[in-house]
Structure formats: structure tokens, C-alpha cells
Amino acid sequence: MSRVEVQTIKTDGHTILLGRHSLAHLAELLATRDFAASKIFILVDENTLKHCLPLLLSKVAALREAEVLEIPAGEESKSLEIAQQLWAALSDMAADRDSLLINLGGGVVSDLGGFLAGNFKRGLRFINCPTSLLAQVDASVGGKVGINFNGIKNELGLFKNPELVFVDPEFLGTLPQREMRCGLAEMLKHGLVCDAAYWHELQSLSFYEPDELDKAINRSVQIKAEIVSSDPFESGRRKVLNFGHTVGHALEAYAMEGDMQELNHGEAVAVGMVCEAFISHRAGFLNESEIQEISSTLFENFPKIIIPDMAHHRILSLMRHDKKNAGGKLRFSLLEGIGDSCYDQEVPAENVIDALNFYKRWVSPIS
Ligand code: NAD
């Protein structure tokens, strides 16, 4: 994609504008009568307030009058307590059904902001301006919004589409490398579940080549948009996007309990993908060389996480809350090959434990 072009990708429920000039369209849109808002709110976290809000305001001057709502950075903000505070703020500031919420941040901001908007006065319009790589390629697209509750990831939530998503890679200029890698985890997942050529291209992706990065972001958004359009409410095929997430979400929730090293979502998904590739191998879907290729790519890009043996039982019990399970059985989305996936696969608990042990035995070059 050329750096001056703006590309449009549509899902079944919303449109995504991509490119370093895409926000010019937001400026134009806000000036139209059809889109006029009684009041505009911008949700940021402490980092996007500092690094991204000035860039947004420089590109969309009409937003200078907007009310800014700030939350602490990090997964802990996807909570009922924070949601309650923000609903109270919206109510005190007289937000009404014609108000517009702009989510300026990573996946935490778009998940929480969509959840706020979806529930406030039975639904406010919202726009996503994702600022982390992970949110640009995945979290901001597809209308799944929610918060963590009762120690479980995304336990409360709904499907609520944004009006629009603006994916402007210029925001990534201030994103720490560790967070760039978290985005790469979801991009690698896109390749693994449905596009082997993309998976191979990503092996040599440089974050420092804007054209290359923009092209890869575009490909990931296309994949996500195509899959969510085919199954907007995740009753079937969309479940393949959960590859790596059954183990990943349980690990992330376990790390938030405080008995393991701190773990970001993308890092947890990277561990989850190694484990679930192993489970796919055990299920007879992946051959030896595919599991080796997947694991070594992930270990080359992500530091090895120390998972204590005593955590296994708790991780399994957290996994039992996964939304894909049925009839008390663990169900996974698995790989049938590189670039090919399936869903609703029952997996015995012992295979999950063996997968964690497989991960732990791996000798990583960057551990
Ligand atoms: P995040 O929102 O916590 O952002 C990561 C960190 O980067 C934060 O500290 C944030 O403040 C900072 N940041 C963001 N943009 C920045 C910028 N441009 N410059 C400097 N710092 C910046 O986490 P994330 O990785 O973006 O998203 C993870 C969340 O997304 C998880 O809660 C996950 O469950 C959710 N998610 C949702 C979906 C979905 O479909 N709804 C899909 C994937 C992930």
C-alpha cells in the first residue's frame, strides 16, 4: 500500500479506513450533517493521552472541543469499576443518544470503550482509532467488546459494531517494541489460521520498513474482516480466530492473579499458539515439521515465559470458563496445517498439560 493512499475494507457490520491519511476522512465526516454529534468524547489511557491525542488533534481539528476521558494504562482497566466510573462521567457530562465516543488506544481502550458505548442509554455510536499494532490488526475490528469480570477474561461483553475504524500506522511511531511484538502475535495467528503465504512473509517482516508494515497491517485487517463477515456472532468459522487464545486467555488471567511474571495479551497468545499447535499435532492434524516450524518462529520472536508447575491445575480451571466450551468439555480451535484451521475440537485435559510441558521443555535462543 502506498503511504499516501487510503484503503477501505468493509466487514458485514462496519467499515475500516486504512492508511496514514485516513483520519482526513474523519475530519470531513464530522463536518457533515448526517454524522453530527451533540457531544464528542475521546477515551484514552495515560499513554495514548500523551503520545496519540496530540497527533489525533493535529489531524482532526474539530476534536479539540471534545471531552477527554482518561483511564490507567493496562488490562486492569477492563473492569466493572472503571466502566462504572466512566458511565457516571458520561452521565454527569450529559452524554445523550446523539453523542459520539472515540476510542483512542490499544485493545483495552477499544474493548472497554465499545462496552461502555454498547450499554450506555442502550447504545451510543462509537469510532475506533486503534493506536497499538494489536488493536490495529485485530482488536478494533469486528465488534467484539467487553471487560474482564470475576477473574475471567472478557466475561462480560457484547457484539457492538463501531461506526467506523481508522487504522493510521503513524500512531505506531511511539509504541514500545514489546507492544509491537504483541501485535505480531495476532498477525502470525492470521497467517496460521488461513494464509500460509502471509505466515511465511511475516517471518521477515521489519517494523522499520513503513511500506512493508502497512502492507502487513492491511493483509491482517483483510483477513479479520473477511472472517468476521462470514460469521459476525461467532457461531462457527469466526472461532478459528481464537487459535492460541484458549491457553492464552487462561494464562493471561492466571498472570493477573499475581503468581506468575506479568504477561501482555500478545505474549500470552504466543505461548498459547505453541501449546495449541502441539495439541493440533497430538490430534493428528499437524506433522512434526509443521509444529517445529511454528514453535521455532514463535520462540524466535517472543521471550520464553516461566510457567510454574503448580499453575497447571489453575490454568486448566480458568480454561473451563472459555466461551467455546460445551457440555463441560474443553473445545479448541486448532490448526489442520499451516494456513488451515478448524474449530469446536474436543481436547482432553491431559493433552493441555502435555502441551504446557512441551512449551516448558523448549530451549529458547532468547530465554
Ligand atoms: P493495550 O490496550 O493495553 O495497549 C498496550 C500498551 O500500549 C498500553 O500500555 C498502551 O497504553 C500502550 N499504547 C497504545 N498505543 C500506544 C502508542 N501509539 N504509543 C505508546 N503507547 C501506546 O493492549 P493491546 O495489546 O493493544 O490490546 C490487548 C487487549 O485487546 C486485550 O484486553 C485483549 O483481550 C483485547 N483484544 C480484543 C480483541 C477483540 O476482538 N475485541 C481481539 C484481540 C485482543
Task: State yes or no: pLDDT of 367 exceeds 90.
Answer: no
- 140 C-beta closer than 6 A to ligand 1: no
Residue nearest (by alpha carbon) to ligand 1 atom 9 = 73
What mean pLDDT comes out for the span 116-133? 98
Residue 144 near ligand 1, beta carbon < 6 Å: yes
Return the residue whose CA atom lies nearest to atom 30 of ligand 1: 107
Cα of 320 to ligand 1 centre, how many Å? 25
Question: Which residue's CA lies nearest to atom 39 of ligand 1?
Answer: 139
Determine contact, residues 109/119, Cβ cutoff 8 Å: no
Does 30 sit in the ligand 1 pocket, CB within 6 Å?
A: no
Cα 171 from chain centroid (whole Å): 16
Ligand 1 nearest-atom number relative to CA 52: 18
Grid cell 494489536 is found at 134
| 306: phi then psi, degrees, rounded to nearest 5 | -85, 115
Q: Which helix (H) or strand (E) holds 348?
A: none
Contact 338, 296 (CB under 8 A): no
Cα of 45 from ligand 1 centre, angstroms: 10
Grid coordinates of 172: 505506531
Q: Whose CA is nearest to atom 12 of ligand 1?
A: 47
Rounded CA gap, 266 and 188, in Å?
A: 11
Q: Are 252 and 153 in contact (CB under 8 A)?
A: yes
180 alpha carbon – ligand 1 mean position (Å): 10
Pocket test for ligand 1, best of 111, 126, 186 (most atoms within 8 A of CB): 111
User: Is the CB of 175 inside a 6 Å radius of any atom of ligand 1?
Assistant: yes
Residue pLDDT, tens place only, 246-290: 999 999 999 999 989 999 999 999 999 999 999 999 999 999 999
Dist CA 342 CA 337 (whole Å) = 10
The counts of H helices and E strands in the chain are: 14, 11
For residue range 304-348, list pLDDT tens digits in order. 999 999 999 999 999 998 888 888 899 999 999 999 999 999 999
Report how far ligand 1's centroid is from the alpha carbon of 132 (Å): 6
Q: Is 351 in the pocket of ligand 1 (CB under 6 A)?
A: no
- Tell me the percentage of the chain whose pLDDT exceeds 70: 98
Give residue-wise pLDDT tens across range 202-232: 999 999 999 999 999 999 999 999 999 999 9
Q: Is 107 in the pocket of ligand 1 (CB under 6 A)?
A: yes
CA dihedral 74, 80, 166, 244 (to 10 degrees): 60
C-alpha cell at 59: 489531524
Atom of ligand 1 nearest to the CA of 154: 34
Does the beta carbon of 302 sit less than 6 angstroms from any atom of ligand 1?
no
Pairing, β 331-337 against β 164-167:
unpaired
Residue type, 27: A
Q: Ligand 1: which residue has its CA nearest to atom 42?
A: 139
Q: For the segment 132-174, what is each residue's pLDDT rounded down to a tens digit? A: 999 999 999 999 999 999 999 999 999 999 999 999 999 999 9
Q: Whose CA is nearest to atom 26 of ligand 1?
A: 106
Q: Give me the residues paired with residue 16 across strands.
A: 9, 165
Centre of ligand 1 to C-alpha 106, Å, is: 3
Task: Tell me, using a 6 A CB cutoff, whether residue 47 lines ligand 1.
Answer: yes
Coil, strand or helix: which one is 246? helix
